[in-house]
Structure 1
């Protein structure tokens, strides 16, 4: 194995990687993978223990070793590629401008100090800026919500500006980050429906509520569910109102601005645009922003919405 050629330190790193990869390893298998004797494996396990890693020996015919979670963070061993990936991730987190930014910046400074010079130069050469900056979120709230989700405990909280009255109660199932904001997805016990809450607007109450049996999310996954809710849909990641129209301008001029819609170039130089929105008037307004004449509007609900929006705008300009 190539890792052993780097000497005891490289072999120790390889052993740690193996122990992290699966729950338990027989000593003989570890020795074979590392191309050393079982005695050497035992000696290296003792070195890991001395560094603070909780490696336990399993009894049985084969014997074996298991890496247990520790109460303290021991020294960590990374190869060059892992160190660069960690530093870049911390740099992005430090640029998020939310509750974890300060901690990420301190962690990045700590990691950078102990990097070998050639790895530090690689990290310094990577200039990454996060453009999505959201409202600040208390790291303690992130931990508290995550713990409630893990333990299936009802979250109790005040939401928005009003803090009077009874607490909101939800069976929180997912914590997600979307477009620079943190959201909690859960079943609202008072409204008897799935809801999405902005974490920065939640003020948690303690203690949490009782434990619950998780419900099935009405979507294939949480990403689909959240995307659908932001489109005003339920369960399906699709706009509830969808339609099309022929614009008297080229597909080339329209294409950069259709977002998740579609555009088809027509033979006469016009283009057919297909779009979606949360309401028919919103879809009509989306077509109007292209600043081009349009016709062949479908379906009839969209055509009616175009007439309604035109009348409203005409009245506003009179």
Structure 2
């Protein structure tokens, strides 16, 4: 019986903590009603959480109540089963984010695993995943990510130096002139971090790789945030990688007939649309950042291709054929 009572108290404390985290202020009577206990029990449970290090403040007023404040120290954390498993899985794949937190994530995973019940530990241990990380993936200091995130929340302009892909700015300089932008979104994609920002100098949106940024202090002045085109930062970044300002399309899109079954083409079509035309041929509508790039992409299927539209794709194939013919000549005849 004592064990059962202790278990019930622990579950109630977890429920109470979850409620306090869900909204700013809670009247004591409403907490008692949600937990199906007396207000006296709520007061005792609040005292227990305070004893564990949670800074819970009593709110004065007609109804009275409680508020969970941020503390100076991290108190013991209470998670339900789903939260604990989700945390462990996230820590296991943290290496893929590009943030320089690999060692800290590994230590945190060991800590979480040690205090897990056996049934949850078995579920987490069953996930034997090896993160596939590109060898050339640059790491970003977590403090830099936090500083950029703070500037976004405070609506403060960021000042930074920006290095080019070769360590310079592409103009023979070691580092580009200082830049100043209005930061809006921080996103991770394929192991790299990107900042989407408005550039007052160019009067346009810009995307910056965070690993190439060296922040300057202090930040610039405060600004009024603009609305990102389309409203979806992920779609906006995806469009920029396609070389397009339209989040849903490539700048160059064409349609062809390929003399291969649809089952052979579909696995390599990416976001293209494949239509089955029989056992030996299919129709493919696909896009790329340039007509030459699209022609080269379609040529890699190693099968006869008939261009349906547009004429610019047909011209790109003709240019590709001329280049291929020159490449096939012996070096002595070039």
TM-score by length of 2: 0.89
Q: How far is the alpha carbon of 1:119 from its aligned partner?
A: 2.9
Q: Are 1:158 and 2:161 an aligned pair?
A: yes
Aligned to 2:126: 125
Q: State the SS of the aligned residue for 1:185.
A: strand
Aligned to 1:92: 93
Matches within 5 A, 1:18-33: 18-33=19-34
Q: Are 1:178 and 2:189 an aligned pair?
A: yes
Q: Aligned equivalents of 1:272 and 1:136: distance in 2?
A: 41
Q: Aligned equivalents of 1:177 and 1:38: distance in 2?
A: 46
Task: Note closer, same or farther for the CA distance 1:295–1:117 as it changes in structure 2 (3 Å cut).
Answer: closer
Q: Are 1:312 and 2:312 an aligned pair?
A: no
Task: Note closer, same or farther for the CA distance 1:256–1:117 as it changes in structure 2 (3 Å cut).
Answer: closer
Matches within 5 A, 1:144-155: 144-155=147-158
Q: Aligned equivalents of 1:34 and 1:46: distance in 2?
A: 16
Q: Is residue 58–residue 66 contact of structure 2 (8 Å, CA) maintained in 1? A: yes
Q: How far is the alpha carbon of 1:230 from its aligned partner?
A: 0.3
Deviations 1:31-61 (A, max 9, x none): 1221211111111111111211111222222
TM-score by length of 1: 0.93
Q: How far is the alpha carbon of 1:185 from its aligned partner?
A: 0.6
Q: How far is the alpha carbon of 1:298 from its aligned partner?
A: 0.8
Q: Are 1:233 and 2:244 an aligned pair?
A: yes
Q: Is residue 95–residue 129 contact of structure 1 (8 Å, CA) maintained in 2? A: no
Q: How far is the alpha carbon of 1:149 from its aligned partner?
A: 0.9
Aligned to 1:108: 109
Q: Aligned equivalents of 1:307 and 1:93: distance in 2?
A: 46
Q: How far is the alpha carbon of 1:21 from its aligned partner?
A: 1.6
Say which is worse superposed, 167-176 or 26-35, in terms of deviation.
Answer: 26-35
Task: Note closer, same or farther for the CA distance 1:10–1:282 as it changes in structure 2 (3 Å cut).
Answer: same
- Identify unmatched segments of 5+ residues in structure 1: none
Q: Aligned equivalents of 1:32 and 1:77: distance in 2?
A: 22
Q: Is residue 233–residue 239 contact of structure 1 (8 Å, CA) maintained in 2? A: yes
Aligned to 1:136: 139
Q: How far is the alpha carbon of 1:94 from its aligned partner?
A: 4.2
Q: Is residue 162–residue 175 contact of structure 2 (8 Å, CA) maintained in 1? A: no
Q: Aligned equivalents of 1:184 and 1:253: distance in 2?
A: 38
Q: Aligned equivalents of 1:60 and 1:119: distance in 2?
A: 43
Q: Aligned equivalents of 1:24 and 1:219: distance in 2?
A: 35
Q: Is residue 153–residue 171 contact of structure 1 (8 Å, CA) maintained in 2? A: yes
The one of 196, 206, 224 aligned to 1:213: 224
Q: How far is the alpha carbon of 1:208 from its aligned partner?
A: 1.4
Q: How far is the alpha carbon of 1:315 from its aligned partner?
A: 1.6
**Count of residues in Structure 1 that have an aligned counterpart in Structure 2:** 316
Q: How far is the alpha carbon of 1:294 from its aligned partner?
A: 1.7
CA RMSD of aligned residues (A): 2.0
Q: Are 1:188 and 2:202 an aligned pair?
A: no
Task: Note closer, same or farther for the CA distance 1:65–1:164 as it changes in structure 2 (3 Å cut).
Answer: same
Q: How far is the alpha carbon of 1:241 from its aligned partner?
A: 0.7
Q: How far is the alpha carbon of 1:165 from its aligned partner?
A: 5.9
Q: Is residue 258–residue 284 contact of structure 2 (8 Å, CA) maintained in 1? A: yes
Deviations 1:118-153 (A, max 9, x none): 433332222223224432111111111111111111
Task: Note closer, same or farther for the CA distance 1:63–1:98 as it changes in structure 2 (3 Å cut).
Answer: closer
Q: Aligned equivalents of 2:235 and 2:97: distance in 1?
A: 24
Task: Note closer, same or farther for the CA distance 1:98–1:23 as it changes in structure 2 (3 Å cut).
Answer: closer
- Identify unmatched segments of 5+ residues in structure 2: 169-173, 330-334
